[in-house]
Each structure stands twice: as structure tokens, then as C-alpha cells.
Chain A
């Protein structure tokens, strides 16, 4: 395999446009006759809608149209299930309710769309929203997931007769049996809440229906261009080939932008067809907090059984999950929780069951980490319980329970994952990652020499070390088309969403290695369904793994065509040719070469003949489909100090070790981890969507919902790597996009507990905050000596 660029720290192709303000995002999309949409959204989380009076809105100059549910006619119906339930798991219960584009009778969550205004500009459209009169009667709201399953609870979907959305039980071994054989059984309840994605760019959508050409062009910052094209084609009865989705530069996504069939998408397309004009909508930050998607709370009831020597025999985890008012994504998040709980540990028996619950809240979608975080949280916390029970060091308990380095990979876990395939650990060296993290953080030295001194000085300083896995790069597939052009530039198109991960560079590196050109001569395009039609989307840290291997495979096909064409041209065998520097040359005969662009011209002659049975041009299309996900893993470790007055946290040292197999670009890899860690810090100490008992969001702005700022971060995130190539794909890549986020909450808990060193301080709920930690510490101080939990 040619590897000139793979693994190199190469500057990004996209940066000159991004850094000069020339990159075009959704807000920059414009047509001369474009109209602007704004949406009236429900203030109530649960209500009966009686009537909507739009007459005053229609009087405002510049208002073109106002639409309510009745205007949609037959186009008003619930959207499709985006991800089906894992029906192959025995005993599954699945109730599906997908969202509707605009409220007709019952309001199911705050932020649901009640009316749409189309106007000459956004200012006028919002003026019109203010004079629409909504008559509705509030209904009791379902807010708390534990209460939601009680017989007297109000119901989100009355006709279902229950708030249960999905129930899945999976068991490896027999937990009831192992429980009777263990020296210890500990129980604990855990609560973990996760918040919004908080991409700096909100959602945006522009539909342009052209009646004369019967063509629909959509611009959208979606993570799934093909999914969006297919869904709009189906909804409006247009052939996919007449629906073009174009994704401009995207200002971050992190999960919610993977959702398709969103109300605004359906309504803007509807209005564009109705008015035969382009309609654009840009979500504002307030809408983003109530009208898009986020992650949400899980409540876990756990048991861990173990012996005196610290070896864990089995775990039971029964948890509830808040899925919001509708569940188009069904069970991806809780399945991720199930698959990531026992992670890289050798836990012979594992019983995991979840009940996802409808509530009157915004819909849940994956957000970076996507369910894995909860599983890692409960596992790591339970190992800390074992360590405390046996008075052992937490890293020792981890060490003796890790899957050993000489294990016979691939290891089947028996647990079905989000791709409905069994979660398989494909490769790795787990003890090595623990050792590397311990060495980098200076664990033993800190515990033995440094911490006692600092404690004696009255400092609240602690250390933590946690481990995790990340199942990445799941199917079904991705594909690419690569063309060597007459200019010598290589055009490499696919249909994927790209939101800052450096795709324009990393895929160019992979392609350039095969074609023998410069990285900057490969033009990667990931966002236009007319350039390439086949693909699934950006989720599950699958870009580098799945699309990267598709690009690699396709570039090899083009390379073969280059060699065959040049071989005929020079009349020499292919193995005497070499590719590099944008030319094909005869090895050892430096003067005999042809530029790649000239070869492309010869491969596609305008007159004469080409060899029968061959294809014109230097172009190929190829696909890659993994059998199941490739599993990355790693460790996070920190030394942190808690200020005893403010309870703010200062990191003295922060270490992250990751094994994502083959590295394409180490600079971009570390950047992915930095950003992931930042979101993990948010999930641990800053970010929480706070709902009142009526399911009303109380902190819907960036003023109140805290995204970590520069001064909230460690002064240095030290990143270490192991590189165990995945045997699953030719490049040996495992994904990394979500790794940074996943293990941070239990790291905070362990290190904060260590900082205070109070027997009664055990943290079982996240996110934390200064006031929460203050209260936990005060409570712990008042507990009796020896009272552990």
C-alpha cells in the first residue's frame, strides 16, 4: 500500500476559505426571489389546540402566506421511522410515534410548530408570528420518567394507553445465578442527564421548487444529504433524481442534524412548491433549544457482584430513558448504552434492560457520545464502588478486570448494537492503554508523594482514571466516485455530511496516496447529491472508517485504470510504471512520463476509438461496507483541584489516551479529541437542560445553558496514542469523533471524591455543578464515619 500522505500532519485544504470568511454556510445561500420563513411554536408542552387565527398576520405588508395544519391536506401525516426497533431481540416491546410537521389537534411538546409564516424578510415574518392568536387548553404534562410509567400518569399519546416507547432486555450468562455465588453484591442508583449539541451554527433549510423544470433543489446543513433527499422525494412524490440536496459548509452538527423529515424541512418544501419560489429558514438559538433535538436523562438501577479478590462476576443494569414526545430514532441511544457498559472489561455475566419512555419534551436524537456515555458512567462508577468496598486502588480494580492483552480477538459480546449486529471487540491492547494513561498522568507518584503533601497543605486535590470503548464506523455502507480530470485535478465525490472534521483533507490524503498526486490537487466534495447519489450519513464516528475505506477502495480502482491506460500508451507492462508527483512514468526512464491530466484526456478521446470492453476516462465508483463496527477505546486521567470557596475546578494535569487504529492525520485526530473532551466537560460540570414539572424548559439560551469556555478547560490536554489497526477494514481505521466525550463524567466523579477524601462522598448523579458538589460535600461531612454510600 502506498502511504506517502497517510499518517502525516498535513495542513487542511479547507482552511484558506474558512479562515478568510469565504466559506459559504446556510445563511449565505440566496436566490433573487427568495422568501423567508418563521415558525410559531407552542409555549405549552402538552395542550389541546382549539384554533389558530391567522387573519391579522395576513394583513401585514410583506407577508406572503401563513400556513396551518389544514393547508397541508394529504401531505399532513407523521414522518417515517428513521431507525427501526431491533426486532431480532427476543421479548422486545416497541411503540413507535413519529413527529408530525405541524400541530393539528394535540401539542406534544414545547416548541412544536403551530403555524408557518412566509414573508419578504425574516423581520416581517417574525412580526407576523406575534399577531397570530392561538387558542389552546393546556393538559397535564409528562415530565418525570419514573412517574411516567405509573398507572395514574397522564399520557403523551393517549391512544397508546402507556408512555412506554421501547423495552429491550439482553443478557449474557445468568445474572440471577451468579448473584448467589459472589462474595459481594452492591446496588446503586445512577442518574445521568445529557444536554444539547450546541453547534455554533443552528439548523437551516432552503427549498427551491422550480415548476417549469419540475426540479426541487434543497440547501441544508444536514448530516445526511441522501437521507434528506430520499425523504423529501417520498413525502412530496418527486423522483429522487429530481431532488438535489446541496450541503454547504456546516458550522458543527454533533448529532441533531442527522434527523430528517423535520417539520421545518417538510413545511419549507411544501411552501416552495405551493408558491413556486425559494423559501429559506434559519433556525435561531431560541428555536434550537426547544424545536430541534437533544439527548436526555437516563435513570439506572444497577447491581454489581464480585469476589474478595476484586474480580467482577456480573452486572445488572436496568434503566429508564427519556425519549421525548416522539421516537423516530427508536433505540439507538439506549442500545449504545447497553453495548458500551461492560466495554473493555472481562465481565462474564451481564444483564441489561431498558425502558424508554415518552415525555412531553423535545425529541431525543444522538448527540456526540450518543448513549455510550451513560454505559461507561455506570460501569466506571461501579468499579469505584468495588474499589472502595475492598479498600483497593481504583486502577488496580480496573487492571484485574480488563480483558487481557493476549485475548483471542475478535471477541463477541453477545449484545446487539445500534447497527443490529452483535457488538464485537475487534482488536486492542487494553492493559497497555491503562498503563500508558497511568504513566502519563504520573499516577503512582502523585498518590504516593505529591497528594499527601498537598492534602497536608489543606488543598482539595484528587486524581481520577477511567477507561472506555467506542463502537465506531458501523454500516451499512458509504461510496465514492473519483475522477482524474483533464486539468490533472482529482475530483473525489461522495454523499456525506461534513461539519469541521477535516474531511476535505483526510480523504484527499487517502486518495492522493493511490493516485500519486498532491493532497491539494484532490478536491473532495461530500455534500451534493447530484455529484454522487449513494450514501447514508455522518453518525457513529464512521467518516474515516467507512467513507475513508470507500475512498481508498475507489482510488485503487482509478489507479488500476491509470496503470492500464498508461501501459497501453507506453506499451510497457504495468509493473514497470510508477505514479507520483501528478505523473505516470516508466520507472528508471525519467524522461518517459505523462502528466495525469494528459492521460485523462487520452483516456477519453473525442475521436478515433477506445479499446472495446474498456470504459472511457480515469474514473471509478466504489463502495465499502463493514461487517460490524470497529471499536476504539482509551483512557482519560486527570489531577484536579476543587476550590473550597467557589467549588470551581482547576486541572493540574489532563491526559487522554486513545487507540483508533491507523491514524490518517495526527493533527486533525488530536483536534477531534480536544473538542470531544470539551463536550464531556460540559456534560460533567456545566450543561444541563433544566425542565420544570410541566416539562417547560427553563434555560433556553446560551446565557443560561453553559457551554464550556476557554477558562473552563484544562490548560493542556495531553494526548497519547496506541495504534492497533482494526482487522475489519483495509486501512485499519477505527473512528474517534466521539471518544473524547465519552469517559469524562465518571472521571470528574472519581477525582472529586478523591479530592475531598470523605468516606460518605459518593457521586451517582451527573451533570455536577459547583453548587451540587458543595451540597454533596456538606452532606458527606454530616454522615457518620464508616457510612460508605
Chain B
């Protein structure tokens, strides 16, 4: 396939210019063109939510978005949160409350919850449950994810971080 398209995408604050096939998925662009492996792909049907990234701040399935649709837009992935040496409060809460097991769905859940907590900094458990209802997890039964997000909201309101 030829007909490459030139696109300019901001990923985690850095601007990347690439020539890509129009059919290239945004998830593949992030993983293989930019080299950020934290965005996982679980179904390629837009159902499971594993590949969720923030697209101009809003959670979006990167597996059913084409890379060319991100031209001129801003993408945030799990790598934009903390590092292994210094995790952010959301990640710390997931460690403290055992919100991740195999970790495959986790990046999508973290990015979904980042946007959720920004809009809803003091959520109830029921609101959190609704908030992650679009993300499948097969390991945790969701209970510890919900407790993690609750703890994160407390940590973030104490520290005043956004």
C-alpha cells in the first residue's frame, strides 16, 4: 500500500511527524511508530477498552481510531503518568489497593480514570463503577480497581494535585 499521509501528532507533549498509511490504527502508530508499548490492544473491536488513550484530554479507543485522525491532535498515554521510580497518586493507589493483576487492561483503565477524576474529583463508589464500566478486566472482579480509584481521589484531594 502506498499513498502515505504526512501527519503531525503530539504524544505526551512531544510532537511527532510521520508518514503513515491511512489504514494504520492509532494503537499501532503509538506502539510501533512512536515506540510506546504501554498502550495495549485487547480486542481491536473497540469493546474492551484496553487500548484507551486520551485524545485531546478525552478517553478514546486507539484501536478503532486511525492514526491520520490524530493529525494535529494531542494524545496522552500511560507513559505520561508517573515512572516506576516515582509513580503518580493514581498509580500509587493501584499498587496499595491491588488494583492490577496481570496489568494488561490497566493502562486503559488508568487513562480512563485520569479523565474521570479530573471531571469528578470526589466520586462515590457507584460513580467509579459506572466510570469504568466500559473497560473490561478479567482478573480483578473490579472491586480493587474501584477501591484504588477511591483512594486516588482521596490522595489527590489531600495533595491538591489535579
Please list the residues of chain A having a beta carbon within 8 angstroms of any beta carbon in chain B.
11-12, 14-25, 27-28, 123-124, 127, 197-202, 249-252, 254, 284-285, 499-502, 667-668, 670-671, 674-679, 701-703, 707, 709-711, 713, 715-717, 740
Contacts and interface: CB of A to CB of B under 8 A. Distances in A.
A668 B98 contact: yes
Interface in B64-79: 77-79
B129 A18 contact: no
B48 A500 contact: no
Given A21-B37, A28-B37, A710-B142, A16 B84 contact: yes
B134 to A, nearest CB: 8
Given A251-B103, A500-B101, A502-B101, A27 B41 contact: yes
A11 B87 CA distance: 14
A710 B146 contact: yes
Nearest to A17: B84
Contact of B23 (A14, A123, A713): A123
Contacts of B41: 27
Q: Is the interface of B mostly helix, strand, loop or mixed?
A: loop
B21 interface: yes
Given A123-B1, A677-B141, A285 B42 contact: yes
Given A25-B104, A502-B101, A701-B45, A19 B87 contact: yes
A94 B75 CA distance: 57
B144 A21 contact: no
B141 A717 contact: yes
A251 B107 CA distance: 12
Interface centre among B41, B101, B129 (most CB of A within 10 A): B101
Given A22-B38, A285-B43, A710-B133, 7 more contacts: A19-B87, A200-B136, A252-B138, A285-B48, A500-B104, A674-B141, A674-B143
Contact of A709 (B37, B126, B136): B136
8 contacts: A20-B79, A20-B91, A123-B21, A254-B138, A500-B101, A670-B98, A702-B136, A713-B143
Interface centre among A11, A252, A707 (most CB of B within 10 A): A252
Interface centre among A11, A200, A249, A284 (most CB of B within 10 A): A200
A392 B147 CA distance: 40
Interface string B139-160: 1111111100000000000000
Contacts of B23: 123
Interface in B100-149: 100-107, 110, 125-126, 129-130, 132-146
A198 B138 contact: yes
Contacts of B61: none
Nearest to B145: A710
A488 B111 CA distance: 37
Contacts of A127: 1
> Which 9 A/B pairs are nearest by Cβ-Cβ distance?
A21-B38, A251-B104, A500-B102, A18-B103, A674-B141, A500-B101, A21-B78, A16-B84, A678-B141
A20 B84 contact: yes
A361 to B, nearest CB: 22
Contacts, number: 177
Nearest to A368: B138
A336 to B, nearest CB: 21
A713 B140 CA distance: 11
Interface centre among B24, B77, B107, B140 (most CB of A within 10 A): B140
A674 B84 CA distance: 26
Contacts of B129: 710-711, 715
A18 B106 contact: yes
B31 interface: yes
Contacts of B145: 710
A21 B36 contact: yes
Given A18-B103, A711-B130, A12 B98 contact: yes
Given A702-B136, A715-B125, A252 B104 contact: yes
Given A200-B105, A500-B103, A702-B136, A717 B143 contact: yes
Contacts of B139: 200, 252, 500, 671, 675
B94 interface: yes
B101 A21 contact: no
B50 A713 contact: no
B77 A716 contact: no
B37 A24 contact: yes
A744 to B, nearest CB: 11
B127 to A, nearest CB: 11
B96 interface: yes
Interface centre among B31, B43, B139, B144 (most CB of A within 10 A): B139
Contact of B100 (A19, A27, A124, A501): A19
Interface in B19-54: 21, 23-24, 31, 36-45, 47-48, 50
A278 to B, nearest CB: 15
B95 A11 contact: yes
A11 B77 contact: no
B94 to A, nearest CB: 5
A221 to B, nearest CB: 10
A124 B1 CA distance: 8
Nearest to B146: A710
A14 B101 CA distance: 9
A671 B95 contact: no
B78 A678 contact: no
A21 B133 contact: no
Contact of A20 (B44, B48, B83): B83
Contacts of B103: 14, 18-19, 23, 249, 251, 500
Interface centre among B40, B96, B126, B146 (most CB of A within 10 A): B40
Given A198-B138, A252-B102, A709-B133, A25 B40 contact: yes
A702 B106 contact: no
Contacts of A27: 31, 37, 40-41
A662 B36 CA distance: 41
A15 B45 contact: no
Contact of B44 (A285, A499, A668): A285
Contact of A201 (B104, B132, B143): B104
A719 to B, nearest CB: 10
Nearest to B130: A711
